[in-house]
Copies of this chain bind each other. A is one copy, B any other.
Amino acid sequence: MRPASADRHRLTASTGLAALGLDALASCAYGPESIVLALSVAGAAGIGLTVPVTLVIVGLLAVLVICYRQVIAAYPDGGGAYTVARDNLGRRAGLVAAASLVVDYVLNVAVSVAAGVAALTSAFPVLLPWTVELCLAVLLLVTAVNLRGVVTGGRLFALPALVFVGSLVVLIVVGLFRGGPIAPLPPTDPVITPQTVGILLVLAAFANGCSALTGVEAIANATPSFRAPGRVRARRAEAGLGLVLGTLLIGLAVLVEMFHAGPVTDRTLLSLLAEGSIGTGPLYVVVQLATVVLLGLAANTSFGGLPVLAARLAADGALPHVFGLRGDRQVYRASIVVLAVLSGALLLFSAGQVAVLVPLFAIGVFVGFSLCQAGMLRHWWTLRGPRWRSQAALSVLGVTLTGAAAIVLTAEKFTAGAWLIVLVIPLLVLLFVAVRRSYARIGQVLEVDQCPQPPRPTASVVVVPVVGISRLAEESLSAALSMGDGTVAVHVVLGEESEDRAAADSLQDRWQEWRPDVPLVLLPAVDERGRPSRVLGPAIAHYLRSVAEPAGERVLLLVGEVAPDHWWQQALFNRRGAVVARYAERHTDAVVCRLRFRLLPRRHSEPAHTSTQNRTLVPQQTV
Chain A residues in the interface with B (C-beta under 8 A): 2-3, 5-6, 314-315, 317, 320-322, 324-328, 330, 435-449, 451-460, 468-484, 495-498, 510, 513-518, 527, 532-535, 554, 556, 558, 562, 569, 571-576, 585, 589, 591-596, 598-602, 608-613, 615-623
* Chain B residues near A479 (CB-CB < 8 A): 460, 554, 591
A578-B242 Cα distance, complex, nearest whole Å: 47
Nearest to A448 among chain B residues (CB) is B470
Task: Name, among A441, A451, A533, the residue most crowded by chain B CB atoms within 10 Å (CB to CB).
Answer: A441
A620-B441 Cα distance, complex, nearest whole Å: 14
Task: Give the 10 A-B CB pairs with smallest separation, nearest first.
Answer: A443-B618, A455-B477, A457-B481, A593-B593, A455-B478, A446-B470, A440-B612, A460-B482, A452-B474, A322-B574
Contact among B326, B495, B574, B609 for A444, CB-based, below 8 A: B609
16 A–B contacts, CB within 8 A, in A order: A3-B497, A317-B617, A438-B569, A439-B617, A440-B618, A444-B608, A446-B471, A452-B473, A454-B515, A455-B476, A458-B478, A460-B479, A591-B593, A591-B595, A592-B594, A593-B594
Contact among B326, B457, B483, B510 for A460, CB-based, below 8 A: B483
Q: Would you call A600 and B478 a contact (CB within 8 A)? A: no
Contact among B481, B496, B623 for A455, CB-based, below 8 A: B481
Nearest to A449 among chain B residues (CB) is B615
**Copies of this chain, count:** 2
Given the contacts A483-B484, A585-B594, A594-B592, A445 and B572 also touching, CB distance less than 8 Å: no
Q: Would you call A471 and B442 a contact (CB within 8 A)? A: no
A299-B537 Cα distance, complex, nearest whole Å: 33
* Chain B residues near A437 (CB-CB < 8 A): 612
| Chain B nearest CB, measured from A77 CB (Å) | 11
* Chain B residues near A327 (CB-CB < 8 A): 534-535
Given the contacts A479-B554, A516-B455, A440 and B593 also touching, CB distance less than 8 Å: no
Q: Would you call A572 and B472 a contact (CB within 8 A)? A: no
Q: Would you call A315 and B618 a contact (CB within 8 A)? A: no
Given the contacts A448-B468, A452-B471, A478-B457, A442 and B599 also touching, CB distance less than 8 Å: yes
Q: Would you call B454 and A514 a contact (CB within 8 A)? A: yes
* Chain B residues near A324 (CB-CB < 8 A): 620
| Chain B nearest CB, measured from A480 CB (Å) | 8
A16-B471 Cα distance, complex, nearest whole Å: 44
Given the contacts A448-B470, A455-B477, A443 and B616 also touching, CB distance less than 8 Å: yes
Known A320-B574, A591-B594; 17 more pairs at CB < 8 Å: A2-B498, A6-B495, A6-B496, A321-B573, A325-B574, A327-B535, A436-B612, A441-B612, A442-B599, A442-B623, A443-B617, A443-B619, A448-B470, A452-B471, A454-B516, A458-B482, A482-B484
Q: Would you call A452 and B470 a contact (CB within 8 A)? A: yes
* Chain B residues near A482 (CB-CB < 8 A): 457-460, 484, 554
* Chain B residues near A622 (CB-CB < 8 A): 443, 446, 448
* Chain B residues near A480 (CB-CB < 8 A): 455
A583-B328 Cα distance, complex, nearest whole Å: 16
Contact among B453, B474, B572 for A453, CB-based, below 8 A: B474
A62-B440 Cα distance, complex, nearest whole Å: 78
* Chain B residues near A3 (CB-CB < 8 A): 496-497
A441-B601 Cα distance, complex, nearest whole Å: 10
A482-B455 Cα distance, complex, nearest whole Å: 10
* Chain B residues near A457 (CB-CB < 8 A): 478, 481-482
A156-B2 Cα distance, complex, nearest whole Å: 73
* Chain B residues near A454 (CB-CB < 8 A): 474, 514-517
A498-B2 Cα distance, complex, nearest whole Å: 8
Q: Would you call B618 and A442 a contact (CB within 8 A)? A: yes
A534-B9 Cα distance, complex, nearest whole Å: 14
Q: Would you call B478 and A320 a contact (CB within 8 A)? A: no
Nearest to A326 among chain B residues (CB) is B534
Q: Would you call B456 and A562 a contact (CB within 8 A)? A: no
A601-B617 Cα distance, complex, nearest whole Å: 52
* Chain B residues near A515 (CB-CB < 8 A): 454
Contact among B496, B569, B595, B615 for A5, CB-based, below 8 A: B496
Q: Would you call A470 and B455 a contact (CB within 8 A)? A: no
Nearest to A615 among chain B residues (CB) is B449
Contact among B317, B326, B484, B532 for A618, CB-based, below 8 A: B317
A619-B571 Cα distance, complex, nearest whole Å: 41
Contact among B5, B440, B469, B495 for A617, CB-based, below 8 A: B440
Task: Name, among A3, A320, A460, A618, the residue most crowded by chain B CB atoms within 10 Å (CB to CB).
Answer: A618
Contact among B325, B438, B527, B616 for A440, CB-based, below 8 A: B616
* Chain B residues near A600 (CB-CB < 8 A): 445
A4-B208 Cα distance, complex, nearest whole Å: 77
| Chain B nearest CB, measured from A623 CB (Å) | 7
Q: Would you call A455 and B518 a contact (CB within 8 A)? A: yes
Nearest to A576 among chain B residues (CB) is B325
* Chain B residues near A328 (CB-CB < 8 A): 527, 533-535
Q: Would you call B442 and A562 a contact (CB within 8 A)? A: yes
Nearest to A478 among chain B residues (CB) is B455
* Chain B residues near A615 (CB-CB < 8 A): 449
Q: Would you call B321 and A572 a contact (CB within 8 A)? A: yes
Q: Would you call A585 and B592 a contact (CB within 8 A)? A: no
Given the contacts A460-B482, A517-B454, A438 and B572 also touching, CB distance less than 8 Å: yes
Nearest to A325 among chain B residues (CB) is B574
Task: Name, among A3, A321, A571, A591, the residue most crowded by chain B CB atoms within 10 Å (CB to CB).
Answer: A591
* Chain B residues near A556 (CB-CB < 8 A): 483, 593
| Chain B nearest CB, measured from A316 CB (Å) | 8
A510-B447 Cα distance, complex, nearest whole Å: 14
| Chain B nearest CB, measured from A325 CB (Å) | 6
